[in-house]
Amino acid sequence: MKTIIVYSTMTGTTEFMAEQIAAALTEAGYAVDIAESTNTSPRELAGYDLILIGANTWDEGDLWDEMIDFYEELPEVDLTGKKGAVFGAGDSFYEHFATAVDTMEEALKKQGCELLLDGLKVDVIPDEEIETACKDFARKLDLRCRELGLVQQ
């Protein structure tokens, strides 16, 4: 299953998440491309079956600046028939924890993308815990894709 992971990162946590998810999906047999949101366009999503977005949250629940252009261009793309999921890092110190994940989920759904899992939100926690959460997220995503017959058993 041709997969793209598009992410933005401020502290490196969401990039780390993208790398962990990509590694787990690659190990499961997926063809995975990773791109920073500033180096790709939503139009490129049309060439993929599975779309994963990594959106970190900053300040009071906002998208990180590097994801804003990608987000604003997303309405120009029809993602009907595409499958997807969203993940991201936040800081529970703030009232609106990891809400960039929710924002990107809504944006994907508006464009016709079917979300396969609830978004993965991680707090500013040790890398080992993030790695475990990301591998579990990838495993659940793989299982869901196999249940739907999107990936050969």
Average pLDDT across the chain, whole number: 93
Residues in the chain: 153
Spatial contact of 8 and 104, defined as CB atoms under 8 Å apart: no
pLDDT of residue 94: 80
3-state secondary structure of 127: helix
Q: What is the mean pLDDT of residues 3-28?
A: 94
Give the span between the Cα atoms of 8 and 70, in whole angstroms: 10
Mean pLDDT of 116-127: 86
Q: What is the pTM of this model?
A: 0.93
Cα gap 96→12, rounded to integer Å: 20
Distance CA 38, CA 13 (A): 17
Note the pLDDT of residue 126. Answer: 62
pLDDT tens-digit readout, 37-75: 999 999 999 999 999 999 999 887 889 889 999 999 999
* pLDDT reading at 127 higher than 80: no
Structure tokens at 20: 């962990």
Mean pLDDT check: name the lowest of 80-84, 120-124, 131-135.
120-124
